[in-house]
Amino acid sequence: MNNDLAEIPAEIGQYKTLKEISSGSYGLVIQVQHKTTKVEYACKIVSRQQLSDKNVFQCFEQELRIHERLTHQNVVKLVEIIYEENYIFVILELCEKQSLYDYLSNSDYSYQRFLKKITYQLCNAVDYIHSKGVIHHDIKPENILLDVNMNTKLADFGCATEQNRSPTNFNGTLGYAAPELVDQDSPYSDGPKIDIWSIGITVYTLANGVVPWRNVEEFYQRIFEDDYSFLQELSPDISEFVAACLKVNPNERPTAAQLKDFEWIKNVKKLPAAKKAVNRSYGVSSSYKDEGGKKKNLLVRGIGDKSVVLNMIPKTNRCKSSIRLIRASVL
């Protein structure tokens, strides 16, 4: 699909096209306005050509069916689906601040209080979807949106599954995915606790400004070896929260409801007013020193802008090489 806005019709059903928000391999997201109510929404435009494969279409329909039954203040609302001959238009709640990743790349807030609110509302969203039998599978800063009042909205249910249906392929983002998903020898099955792991990685990234890995395979290896020394970079209260999320045994991880009762976030108050935006490098990036002693930065958005499909081969030494990737391709 060509992402030129001029090719998009001026009107889509009861909505008037306003402007482009973002584009990617999936298609285009534009801002629209309902012609009667004047309320503005986001509209995700998906070409039917992209859905020509039966399995791809079924996955897309599953995403829509799951998303449309979720109604919660911390979940992006799916408003309407418009099917036309060449495109499918998905009308969504508009989050003016876009993703948490994008917003924090260019803004400065009272950081700790902001992080507490983000974390509490994220846990609130995950607690809700789990109560509805839904597992998100891809929680990360890119999939956490912010509305005009700086409230957290969990988005993108493209990897989501129902709890009684295990996915046929790995769906998620390497690095944010729980060990039981990337380790084929894991005795633990897929379940809602995989989202708790992703919350932990997300909170670490937001709190520390960098992802907790330089090399993802080495990161999982450290986890399997019970090496959590990277948590020392966090304050004690945040470290306690993240450590609880990052238990290798998912049965030892708290539920999202239990996370909301952690001392660090349970007394969250309203976010303070924004300060003047500054051009600040926010970090889902990782830094290290090269052989000459110069500091290098590794910008990381998960492992890619989209989810990663992994195929793994048996490991001769689980701790030495936690995962072996035959292929990692962006969906």
State the catalytic residues: 138
191-229: b or e for each residue (b if 16 or more CB lie within 10 Å)?
Answer: bbbbbbbbbbbbbbbbbbbbbbbeebeebbbbbbeeeee
Do 150 and 187 meet the contact criterion of CB atoms below 8 Å apart?
no
């809602």: which residue's tokens? 192
Residue 272: partners with Cβ closer than 8 Å, 6 or more residues away? 109, 110, 113, 114
CA atoms within 13 A on the CB side of 279: 0
Q: Does 185 appear as a known binding residue?
A: no
Q: Does 225 appear as a known binding residue?
A: no
DSSP symbols for 32-85: EEETTT--EEEEEEEEGGGG-SHHHHHHHHHHHHHHHT---TTB--EEEEEE-S
First to last CA, the chain: 16
């409801």: which residue's tokens? 257
Ramachandran quadrant class, 62 (left: phi over 0; alpha: psi -120 to 50; beta: rest): alpha
Q: Does 16 appear as a known binding residue?
A: no
Q: Does 195 appear as a known binding residue?
A: no
Instruction: State the DSSP code for 99.
Output: B
Binding residues: 44, 142-143, 156
Binding residues for ATP: 44, 142-143, 156
